[in-house]
Amino acid sequence: MLDPNRPKDLQRIYEAVRACRRQLASARRKRRELIQDFVGSAYPQEWMVQTDMPVNMLAVMMDIYTMQLAGSNPRVILPTPRKELLPFAADLEAVVNQELEDMQFSKTLRRWVQEAMFCMGILKSGLVDGEYIEIIPGSPQPTQQYFLDLVDFDDFVFDLDAVYWDRVSFMGDRYKVNFDYLVQDDRYPAEARSQVKPREYGQPEDDEGSSEIFFNRGSEYGIERHLKRTAWVWDIALIEEGLIVTMADSAAAKVPLKVVEWDGPTRSPYHILSFSDVPSNILPLAPGQVVKSLNRAMNALFRKLIEQARRQKTLGMYRAGDQDDVEKIQQAEDGHLIGVSNPEVVKEINFGGANPQNMAFAMQIRDLFSMVAGNLDALGGLGPQSETYRQDAMIANTVSNKVAKMQVSVTDATVEVIRDLVARIWQDPLRTYETRRGVAGTDVEIAVALGPGDRQGSFEDFDIRIEPFSMQYRSPRERADEITALMTNLVFPVMPLLQQQGVYVDLQRLLETLAKYRSLPELNHIFQYQAPPMPGSAGEEPRQPDTGKRTYEHVSRPSGAGGANQQMKNLMSAGQSDQMSVTGAR
C-alpha cells in the first residue's frame, strides 16, 4: 500500500502520472484534430487550423446526438421493496430531483455527453463548503455543497496498465489554482507550498506539450501578461488505498498539499462516460472518430466542387473577320432586331463548372455518413424520409433502436453520478433539504423538509433508477402529438367502458394542456367551461363513439433515399454523357 506522506511513495505517484501523460499524447492529439474538424474555419480563433468545412456533418451529428442523449434533466425514481418506506422514498425522490434542477445538471450532462463523442467524458464529484449554520449557538458550521466539474481529457490521467476501468489503480486530473492565494494559505504545509511554482506563459509547460487546446505557444497571445498568476496542481485518487492526494505539479514535490480519505459510494470521485469499448484496451472508440474520415472526404470534394464552380466561365467566341457582326450583337439590347451577315457568327461556350460525377460522389459520401452515424437524417428530422407522416414516424421509431446502446451507456453512467449525490444527501449531517411534491392521484402538493434526523431505513433499501427517456429532449409539440394520439387511439374508443368503471376525462384540462403545448392560448377563449348538467336532466344523449366498420388501405411508397439515389444516377449519367461527347469530338 502506498503512503503519499512518504517522499519516496509520493515520487512514485508523480512518476506514474508523468508516464501516463506521455502515453496519452497520441490520444490527446487525435482529439484535438477532431475538435478542429468540428469547428472548421468558422471558429473565431486565428491560431487554429483554418480548414474550410462547407458541409460540416460532424457538427450536425454532435448537436443531434447531444439532444437525443441529454436533452433535459433525468427524472430519478427511488423504488423500495419495503412498503412502510414508500412515503419517505417519495420525499427523497423529490429532493434529489430538485437538487438536480438547482445544480442545472442538464447543462453539465450535455457537456459530458459531448466530450464522450470526441473521446471520453469525465466528471469529478465532491463536496465544498457552503453556507454556515449554527447548530450550537455561537459555533457556526459550514454546510457541505455537492459539486460536479467537467474534467478536460487533456488534463486527465489514469492507470493505462489496466484493461478495464474497474481495475485501474489510480485516476487523477490537474487544474489551475491562484498561485498567490495558495502559497499564503496556511491550511497547507509550508514545505508543500514552497514546491508549487507559477506557470510561465509562453514557455513549454511539460515534455508532452501544452494540455490546453486554446493555448498556442507560437502566437502573440502566448506572451501576454495575465491578470493573475496560476499554478498547476494534481488531484490523484488512489483506488486501493481509498485516498485523494493533492500535490504540486513538480518533480521536486516531497510533501503533498493534502491527503483525504474517499468516503463516497463509488470507487473514486471520477465518473467516466464512453460509448464503444475496444477489446483488451481501456481507451474507448469515440463516435466522432468513426466518421472523421468520411467528413473530411466529403468536405474535400465539396471544396473542390466550389472551386470548380468559381472557375466556371461562359464565353462568346467568333471567327476572325466577323468583327462588324459581333459588335452589332454585343451592342444590341434585349429583344431588338438587328441585321447581320451570319446569324451564327457568335457561339457561347462554357468552360469549367462543378463536375457532375464529383457531385454525385460527394452526395453518396454524405449518405454514407448519415448511415454510419445511425441514419442521421431520420434521427435529427433533417428532412422527410417518406411521403407520409406515418411512414416517417415508423422510420423514426426504428432509428431510435440504433441509439439505444448509447442511451444505455449514458443512463448507466448517470445513475452512478446520482448514486453519489443521493449518498451525499443521505450522509449530510447539517443541511435540511426543502422542496414540494405532488400526491399521486390528486392535484395536491405538499411541502417536503428532509433534515438530518429524518432518514428512514438504510441507504441500501432504495434502488436508484432513471425514468426511461426522461433525458431525451421532446418539444412541446411532440408532447401534444403524443397526448392527442393516446386519446384518439386508446381513450376515446373505450370511453363507455371507462365511464362504467367511474373513469372520466377532464376535457377542460385536456384542452388547456394542448393549448399550452401548441402555443395556442386562443383555445382557452374559444371554449367556455360550465358546470356539467345534473344526471337525468333534459338534453341530448352523449354521442357514442363510432364503432362502425372501417377499411384501411396500405400504400407502399419509396423512401426519401430513393429520390436521392435517382438524383445521383442522373448526375453520374450526365457526367458520362459529357465525357462521351468530348471523346467523340476528338
Cα–Cα–Cα angle for 305, 308, 310, rounded to 5 degrees: 110
Query: For 150-161, how does the pLDDT look when each residue is reduced to its tens digit (9 = 90+)?
Result: 999 999 999 999
Percent of the chain scoring above 70 in pLDDT:
75
Q: How confident is the model at residue 223 (pLDDT cuts 50, 70, 90)?
A: very low
Question: What's this model's pTM, rounded to 2 decimal places?
Answer: 0.75
Provide the 10 A C-beta neighbour count for residue 567: 13
Mean pLDDT of the chain: 78
Q: Where are the alpha helices (DSSP H) in 428-494?
A: 476-486
Contact 195, 14 (CB under 8 A): no
| Helices of type H across 249-355 | 287-311, 323-331
**Nearest CA among 446, 428, 430 for reference residue 438:** 446
Higher pLDDT, 440 or 499: 499
- Does the pLDDT of residue 220 top 50, yes or no? no
Name the band, by pLDDT with cuts 50, 70 and 90, for residue 213: very low
Please spell the DSSP secondary structure of 243-265, one letter per residue.
EEEEEES-TT--S-SEEEE--SS
- Of 39, 53, 75, 11, give the one whose Cα is nearest residue 414: 75
Rg of the Cα atoms in the chain? 33
pLDDT of residue 400: 59
Q: Which of 64, 156, 73 is nearest to 114 (CA)?
A: 64
DSSP run (H or E) holding 433: strand 433-438
Question: For the packed helices 57-70 and 356-372, what is the interaxial angle rounded to 10 degrees?
Answer: 20
Between CA 91 and CA 102 the distance in angstroms is 17
Average pLDDT (82-109) is 88
CA neighbor of 183 nearest in space, from 203, 172, 197: 197
Q: Are 9 and 255 in contact (CB under 8 A)?
A: no
* Band of residue 548 on the pLDDT scale cut at 50, 70, 90: low
pLDDT at 126 over 80: yes
List Cβ neighbours of 380 (8 Å cut-off, separation of 6 or more).
60, 63, 64
Q: Which helix (H) or strand (E) holds 561?
A: helix 560-585
Q: Return the HEC string of 270-288.
A: EEEECCCCECCECCCCCHH
How far is Cα 174 from Cα 236, in angstroms, rounded to an integer? 9
CB-CB contact of 270 with 151 (8 Å): yes
Contacts of 556 (CB under 8 A, 6+ apart): none
Region 67-74: mean pLDDT is 83
| Selected residue with higher pLDDT from 554 and 176 | 176
Reply yes or no on whether the pLDDT at 315 is more than 50. Answer: yes
Q: Which amino acid is at 458?
A: S
pLDDT band of 568, cuts 50, 70, 90:
low
Residue whose C-alpha is closest to residue 53's, from 377, 334, 384, 299: 299
* Helix ranges, 373-502 (H): 376-380, 389-400, 404-427, 476-486, 495-500
Higher pLDDT, 580 or 270: 270
Whether the pLDDT of residue 173 is over 90: the answer is yes
* CA–CA separation, 385 and 133 (whole Å): 59
Candidates 342, 432, 361, 523; CA nearest to 131 is 432
Query: Is 280's pLDDT higher than 80?
Result: yes
pLDDT tens by residue, 357-383: 889 998 999 988 888 888 888 777 665
HSE-CB for 408 with a 13 A CA cutoff: 7
Q: Which of 30-44, 113-127, 272-286, 520-534 has the lowest mean pLDDT?
A: 520-534
- Look up residue 24 and give its amino acid: L
Q: Give the long-range contacts of residues 255-258, CB within 8 A, separation 24 or more.
A: 255/5, 255/7, 255/10, 255/189, 255/191, 255/192, 255/195, 256/4, 256/5, 256/10, 256/192, 257/188, 257/189, 257/192, 257/193, 257/196, 257/233, 258/188
Q: Is the pLDDT of residue 128 over 80?
A: no
Residue recorded with cell 454510419: 372
Q: State the pairing for strand pair 270-273/243-248.
A: unpaired
The Cα–Cα gap between 461 and 80 comes to: 6
Amino acid identity for residue 384 in this structure: P
**All three cell numbers of 101:** 434542477
Give the Cα separation of 323 and 126 in Å (integer).
86
The C-alpha atoms of residue 312 and residue 270 are separated, in whole angstroms, by: 56
pLDDT of 209 above 90: no
Residue 301 amino acid letter: L
* Span of 293-307, 364-378, 448-462 with lowest mean pLDDT: 448-462
pLDDT score recorded for residue 30:
92
Least confident of 45-54, 73-82, 240-249, 475-484: 45-54
β-pairing, 170-178 vs 156-158, is antiparallel
Annotated domain spans of the chain = 313-351, 476-526
Here the cell at position 7 is 517522499
211 pLDDT tier (thresholds 50, 70, 90): very low
pLDDT digits (tens, 9 = 90+) for 256-265: 999 998 888 8
Specify the DSSP class assigned to residue 353.
-
Element holding 117 (H helix, E strand): helix 105-118
Burial label, 106 (beta-carbon count in 10 A; 0-12, 13-18, 19+)? middle
Is the distance from CB of 287 to CB of 276 less than 8 angstroms? Answer: yes
Strands 156-158 and 139-151, sheet pairing: unpaired
Cell for 74? 433525468
Q: Which amino acid is at 502?
A: G
pLDDT band at 132 (very low <50, low <70, confident <90, very high): low
* Interacting residues of 264 by C-beta distance below 8 A, sequence separation 6+: 125, 420, 423, 424
Amino acid type, 247: M
